[in-house]
Structure 1
Amino acid sequence: MIALTQTTYMQESKVDLLGLMRSPGFVLPALLFPCAFYFFFGVVFKHDASGASTYLLVNYCIFGIMGPALFNFGVHVAQDRETGSLTLKRLSPMPPLAYVMAKSLSALCFSLLICSLLFGIALLGTDVTMSASQWLGLLGTALLGTLPFCGLGLWLGLKLSAKAAPAVVNLVYLAMAMCSGLWVPITLLPESMQTFAWLLPSYHLSQLALSVLSMHQGHPIGLHLIILSAFAIAFALLASHQWRKLY
């Protein structure tokens, strides 16, 4: 029975990951947007400020990992609902958790690939210098940080129609990136936006990632960790409630 369950999880994960890799509409934006932005702003248009390329690398890693989590859940779950694929999976012997775990694993795989590409650009085209522990700390923070966005994406995917999902998820994705200081330093934003950023998981994840290099704003790391964990739990509960309403 345990072997059968493990096989089910592995097969579902394989199918979901292969499906994403065969979707140019998902793969190209997910990989190209953060890499292109970092290449232009971190390499081509280098800032004179010390550490600017490193700061941008951290924030574009966070920007990059948000995309696969939000879109694989937010858009594809909505599509699976309307096409009946999700209902078919629910009627099959497959555990419901296998569906969620498969999409989470796919998001993690793409996040790892995005971070690896960004690291490669930084090493080859900038003056970024970090210790091995800092590279690993940044990577680990970014990958673990996908979890709250998986929960948010799942909730949106269960809530929205297939037609509305792409627009709404894009709006949420870009708004969080802009208002969290991922594109420009948070200190350059108006004070009201800096206050609003505390309501966004992307801001707290960015601060956690920047703390690996001691480039954060100086607020307690534990506070960011608690708030981000609260976001992850809240989104998981919202998604679970919406799942039970639908099925």
Structure 2
Amino acid sequence: MTDARRPLQIVDPDDPRIAAYRGIRERDLVRHQKRFIAEGTSVLRVLAGQRRFGIESALILENRFAGVADILGMLPAKTRVYVASSDVIDAIAGFPMHRGVLAVGLRRDDADAAPDTARRWRTVVALSEIANHDNMGAIFRNAAALGADAVLMDAQSCDPLYRKALRVSVGAVLTVPWHRFGHADAMLDWLETNGFALAGLSPRGDAALEHWEPPAKAALVLGTEGPGLPDRVMDRTQTLRIAMANGFDSLNVATSAALVLHHVRNARTGPASG
């Protein structure tokens, strides 16, 4: 275990030991780096408690250190823990870091994200061209909370390990299995080959969600806000729509994901008793 009582003090923003944290926003724009930035206490707690992703180091605002010492004590022994003043951390990051809790995680190989355990998956969220990081993070949070087995996406969707997506997910990106396919057609091919029935969510859907009986293995296919699912994807799915009040025709995609996942969960287990 890391000795959380002995952090390494950083006084120079140019210290080479914390190079991975320097200019965080610019690093965020580089897709598929070997590293990613985890931000905030909740995300650090999830990162420390899982073993799917490695943890290289943590950088903590000195007056936040005592409050996260229990989490730091969960980190692997080789993980370096650094502390710095607010001025130094802000200079390192390139903008004010109000949370003051950062860590560098190490990416796994995406190729192993659709493992043999996929045979046991019953509910999968499949994303086409989800470009908004807030939506991506919220979809993962909903998937974790409502029992989805995995989140799949095409190459046109944004990176789930982008700092903001990871933060919005409250760490769910680190715990829910996910895999990126080269394009949506390859994703749908894989799902059908593995026995999933495809259900596409769209205001243009043919069937009302409340009347839909989820199949034994369901893939819930969602597209970007605005254009929604491409016609070629819609043509391959049973299309569903969510009933809305008159004068309104669409919901945020993450909200739609939550509603359909809740519907699937209730249909399979029955409504939770109060």
**What TM bracket, shorter-length normalisation?**
under 0.3
Higher helix share: 1
Q: Which has the higher contact order (CA 8 A, sep 6+)?
A: 1
Which structure has the greater CA radius of gyration?
A: 2
Structure 1 length-normalised TM: 0.27
